[in-house]
């Protein structure tokens, strides 16, 4: 993926420090949006590390916690807008899981500025660049990831694993290949999105 980012140093010196943002992006929309930002030569801070996943519905909340545990200062989860998921319902799963995760993080005292959940389409390159800019601005004053948060994340880790064992009978979106499977190329045929009773609850940010 081509990205155009300002090449500024990431150090712990207060005046120069920039956060490390891990972005978990769905392949079909948000990753394409990030790619568009790059190919359009839009400039945004070089603070983001992108991880491409098949669909936001494949993102386990543990991925977010692992990123924090391994030194991310903020985590962004982004997927297709509601109704646009290439697997029809993956982002509905993501919305439920990430809403739950956001509440758990808040419960553990993690500032909301450290976790972001957004919809970014393939045509929203400028929006992606703006989002990275916004996250960087919000997280920079918080400073780097603090090792003392590790205990909180481990506690959440246990909580989430317990919750997942409860819902083991009905795992993540059945239409999406497991994470180990290679990402397949786009086909002309895309399944239509199914109606979801939660849609009335609103879309976009959590």
Q: Quote the DSSP letter at residue 201.
A: G
Query: Which conformational region is residue 143 in: left (phi greater than 0), alpha (psi within -120 to 50 degrees), or beta?
Result: left
- Residue 49 CB, shortest distance to ligand FES, in Å, is 19
Nearer to ligand FES, 52 or 66 (CB): 52
Nearer to ligand FES, 38 or 57 (CB): 57
Nearer to ligand FES, 28 or 153 (CB): 28
Nearer to ligand FES, 45 or 79 (CB): 79
Judge residue 75's burial from the number of C-beta atoms within 10 Å of its C-beta, 0-12 exposed, 13-18 middle, 19 or more buried: buried
- Residue 192 CB, shortest distance to ligand FES, in Å, is 14
Cα distance between residue 60 and residue 38, in whole Å: 27
Cα distance between residue 85 and residue 190, in whole Å: 9
Instruction: Give the number of C-alpha atoms closer than 13 A to the C-alpha of residue 92, restricted to the C-beta side.
Output: 18
- Residue 197 CB, shortest distance to ligand FES, in Å, is 18
Judge residue 54's burial from the number of C-beta atoms within 10 Å of its C-beta, 0-12 exposed, 13-18 middle, 19 or more buried: buried
CA-based angle 184:22:119, to the nearest 5? 65
- Residue 198 CB, shortest distance to ligand FES, in Å, is 15
Binding residues vs ligand FES (CB under 6 A): 26, 28-29, 55-57, 79-80, 85-87, 90-91
Nearer to ligand FES, 26 or 65 (CB): 26
- Residue 87 CB, shortest distance to ligand FES, in Å, is 5
- Residue 55 CB, shortest distance to ligand FES, in Å, is 3
Nearer to ligand FES, 13 or 185 (CB): 185
Cα distance between residue 106 and residue 96, in whole Å: 16
Residue 118, beta-bridge partner list? 78
């Amino acid at each position: 993926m081509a990205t155009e980012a300002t090449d500024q140093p990431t150090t712990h010196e207060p005046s120069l420090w920039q956060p490390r943002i891990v972005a978990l992006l769905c392949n079909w929309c948000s990753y394409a949006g990030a790619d568009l930002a790059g190919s359009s030569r839009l400039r945004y801070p070089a603070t983001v590390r992108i991880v491409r996943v098949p669909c936001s519905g494949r993102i386990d909340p543990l991925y977010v916690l692992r990123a924090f545990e391994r030194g991310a200062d903020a985590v962004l989860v982004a997927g297709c807008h509601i109704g646009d998921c290439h697997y029809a319902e993956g982002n509905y799963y993501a919305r439920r899981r990430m809403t739950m995760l956001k509440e758990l993080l808040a419960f553990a005292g993690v500032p909301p500025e450290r976790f972001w959940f957004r919809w970014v389409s393939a045509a929203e390159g400028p929006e992606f660049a703006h989002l990275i800019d916004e996250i960087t601005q919000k997280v920079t004053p918080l400073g780097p990831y603090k090792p003392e948060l590790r205990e909180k994340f481990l506690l959440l880790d246990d909580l989430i694993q317990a919750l997942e064992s409860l819902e083991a009978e009905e795992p993540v979106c059945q239409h999406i290949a497991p994470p180990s499977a290679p990402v397949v190329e786009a086909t002309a045929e895309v399944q239509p999105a199914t109606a979801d009773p939660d849609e009335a609850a609103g879309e976009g940010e959590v």
